[in-house]
Structure 1
Amino acid sequence: MNSSLSAQFKPDGYRKTFFITIVHLSWEARYQETLTMNINDEDDIGVVFRKTLGHYTVHTHGREIDCVLSSLIHKQLIFPTADPTSLRHTVREVREIDHVDPVAIGDRVRYVNAGDGTGVIVEILPRDSKLSRPAPVPGQRVFEQVIVSNADLILPVFSVASPVPKWRLLDRYLVSAEAANLPSLIVINKLDLAWKNPSFNEEIEIYRRIGYTVLLVSAVTGEGIEEFKQALQGRQSVMVGKSGVGKTSLLNAIQPGLGLRVKAVGQGEIGKGRHTTTHHEMFKLDFGGALVDTPGIREFGLWDIAGEELAYLFPEMADYVGRC
């Protein structure tokens, strides 16, 4: 292991730059608060923890409900007056809503309980935050894909080597987080492979000088894992990154009982990882908080960010905007 790389993690600086964004309520407190929102005799409230092939696992009051979507969520009802709650309830028009999937991990939803462990999601409650990208749908116009909602920490995960970091991809993650007004913690895994990338130290130092907190970890040796757990405690965090950087391995390291399957980095394509995670899922952490694992992302486009807004989303440009 490269000891100079390990020494780059400075606890004092980490606390100053990261913990100033302390959340007012822990994830557990917000989760319990969600379960008491506007409950009536017919419907219940829960949080989406997993989604795959049109099915959504909703957690509520210690139970898991396997839900599907009501067809109404895919439609926008157009009423003859501006107020759909008025006496004129007749629907004038039904429009399809353009999206890849209207439900995201972390969504608070209202659902009708079928009584046999299944249910139907009938409403997505307002989101506190969301991280989005353009949906990769070839041959169609661009739709929004919400990766996660109601998160309060974005974790761009990269590896020192195998695969090597793509810094422009990191820039896109950071810009998207800034646009969503969400804090970021850059996580660099595979510190045990530092000898394979001698220039890494200089490259990551650029982001530290800008003001971002960088955490160096190794899911293999355990270095930095305790600091990682401290950063996650009480938060709903989401990991984003390419395949092969070790997101799932990090989950196993911070919560060993999960036993999630991992794969080695592909040998046929230099620097390219292999998918292990094939769906989005949120895991409740034993030490407090929740962590979302996402499939590997090789491309990450910016969603709903105009070109003239970009400079404002780079912290290092803040002092120069409007002076050029």
Structure 2
Amino acid sequence: MTEGKIIKAISGFYYVLSEEGIVQCRGRGVFRINNVSPLVGDLVSFQAENDKEGYIMDVKERKNELVRPPVANIDQAILVFSALEPEFSTTLLDRFLVIVEAANVLPIICITKQDLLVNEEEINQYMKEYRSFGYDVLMISSTTEEGIEQLRPFISGKTSVFAGQSGVGKSSLLNVLNPELNLKTDDISTHLGRGKHTTRHVELIEIGTGLVADTPGFSSLDFTGIEEGDLANYFPEMYRESGACKFRGCLHLNEPRCAVKSAVENGEIPEYRYKHYKQFIEEIRGRKPRY
């Protein structure tokens, strides 16, 4: 048997990259019986029937996985947000940050379309704040290619997923990183105020020495699997302060002598981050139980 990595999955076929090249494989029937679904990014063992076709025999243990989009063994998520068109949203960004960190994926914030900005003061302030939380933040333009070379070292030698709102320029950015891709892009829908979906399936594509998952985007941004007591762990600035709270297990809501609330009151933690934290807590508390 040969080992490789699934780089594309379409209609029950899995395209596995190994040292011998790419082989189109089907999954063994036992996977369906055991409720195992191979994902793009999976390391697998496969039995080749010939140079072009084979069967996946085993899926190796995953270090992490995302559900929607379905992709596994990701080193980092490049969260692509536009400075304008669509408008930059800290609420949506914080939602993405929580979801990818909860999946044990390293987030990197990449802000595009800076060339459209008339006044960069507000976006620069956000960049400064998110860097202070501990995130890498890059400012990039696919049009002018400014900042592109800052991104390449982050991608080199790693498996990354590009994620973000439709219309923020993910495919355009990938085309600049590797012009041979020629990925389909569309303009923003002026009626809906968001981008038209242009990516139809998950696929790992080569960018230099790295692999990047071009995906249809996150079709769900809920907090499934995240408990309210763990949420603050995914807000790095809150996690740092929480050790000084009076009560162990403090939820930073109504408890006395809460270090996180004090940091918000003192301006050490931005109010919008704390507002989002409370909003997400309410969502987690309000979700329907699964049996």
- Whether TM exceeds 0.5 here: the answer is yes
Q: Distance in 1 between matches of 2:56 and 2:152?
A: 33
Q: What's the counterpart of residue 220 of structure 1?
A: 143
Distance 1:165-1:71 versus aligned 2 partners, 3 A rule: farther
Structure 1 residue 228 displacement after superposition? 0.8
Q: What's the counterpart of residue 314 of structure 1?
A: 235
Q: Is the 8 Å Cα contact of residues 161 and 197 (structure 1) preserved in structure 2?
A: no
Q: Is the 8 Å Cα contact of residues 153 and 237 (structure 1) preserved in structure 2?
A: yes
In structure 2, give the amino acid aligned to 1:259. Answer: N
The alignment-based identity, stated in percent, is 34
Q: Distance in 2 between matches of 1:146 and 1:216?
A: 25
Q: What's the counterpart of residue 282 of structure 1?
A: 204
Bigger mean CA deviation after superposition, 199-208 or 186-195: 199-208
Equivalent residue runs for 1:78-117 within 5 Å: 97=35, 102-115=37-50, 117=52
Q: Which of 49, 52, 56 is the matching residue for 1:121?
A: 56
Distance 1:191-1:109 versus aligned 2 partners, 3 A rule: same
Q: Confirm whether residue 229 of structure 1 aligns to residue 152 of structure 2.
A: yes
Q: What's the counterpart of residue 183 of structure 1?
A: 106
Q: Which of 150, 161, 167 is the matching residue for 1:244?
A: 167
Q: Is the 8 Å Cα contact of residues 169 and 299 (structure 1) preserved in structure 2?
A: no
Q: Distance in 2 between matches of 1:146 and 1:251?
A: 18
Gaps of 5+ in 1: 1-42, 77-96, 134-144
Q: Is the 8 Å Cα contact of residues 160 and 200 (structure 1) preserved in structure 2?
A: yes
Q: Distance in 1 between matches of 2:189 and 2:115?
A: 18
In structure 1, give the amino acid aligned to 2:180. Answer: G
Structure 1 residue 298 displacement after superposition? 5.8
Q: Is the 8 Å Cα contact of residues 69 and 202 (structure 2) preserved in structure 1?
A: no
Distance 1:319-1:63 versus aligned 2 partners, 3 A rule: closer
Q: Is the 8 Å Cα contact of residues 69 and 217 (structure 2) preserved in structure 1?
A: no
Q: What's the counterpart of residue 208 of structure 1?
A: 131
Q: What's the counterpart of residue 58 of structure 1?
A: 16
In structure 1, give the amino acid aligned to 2:7. Answer: F
Q: Which of 183, 194, 200 is the matching residue for 1:260?
A: 183
Post-superposition CA distance 1:16-64 (Å, at most 9, x none): xxxxxxxxxxxxxxxxxxxxxxxxxxx2211011112222111112411
In structure 2, give the amino acid aligned to 1:64. Answer: I
Q: Distance in 1 between matches of 2:116 and 2:40?
A: 32
Gaps of 5+ in 2: 246-257, 259-291
Q: Confirm whether residue 167 of structure 1 aligns to residue 90 of structure 2.
A: yes
For the residue of structure 1 that corresponds to 2:117, the secondary structure is helix
Q: Distance in 1 between matches of 2:71 and 2:59?
A: 13
Structure 1 residue 181 displacement after superposition? 3.2
CA RMSD of aligned residues (A): 2.1
Structure 1 residue 277 displacement after superposition? 0.8
Q: Which of 203, 216, 229 is the matching residue for 1:295?
A: 216
Q: Distance in 1 between matches of 2:87 and 2:120?
A: 8
Post-superposition CA distance 1:155-194 (Å, at most 9, x none): 1111111112232222122223322333221011111112
Q: Distance in 2 between matches of 1:197 and 1:319?
A: 29
Post-superposition CA distance 1:280-307 (Å, at most 9, x none): 1111223x11111111336412342111
Q: Is the 8 Å Cα contact of residues 312 and 321 (structure 1) preserved in structure 2?
A: no
Bigger mean CA deviation after superposition, 169-178 or 277-286: 169-178
Structure 1 residue 211 displacement after superposition? 1.8
Equivalent residue runs for 1:7-46 within 5 Å: 43-46=1-4
Q: TM-score, normalised by structure 2?
A: 0.77
In structure 2, give the amino acid aligned to 1:275. Answer: H
Q: What's the counterpart of residue 140 of structure 1?
A: none
Distance 1:146-1:158 versus aligned 2 partners, 3 A rule: closer
Q: What's the counterpart of residue 149 of structure 1?
A: 72
Q: Is the 8 Å Cα contact of residues 243 and 297 (structure 1) preserved in structure 2?
A: no
In structure 1, give the amino acid aligned to 2:25. Answer: C
Distance 1:182-1:116 versus aligned 2 partners, 3 A rule: closer
Q: Is the 8 Å Cα contact of residues 281 and 293 (structure 1) preserved in structure 2?
A: yes
Structure 1 residue 220 displacement after superposition? 0.8
Post-superposition CA distance 1:247-275 (Å, at most 9, x none): 111111011121112111112212x1111
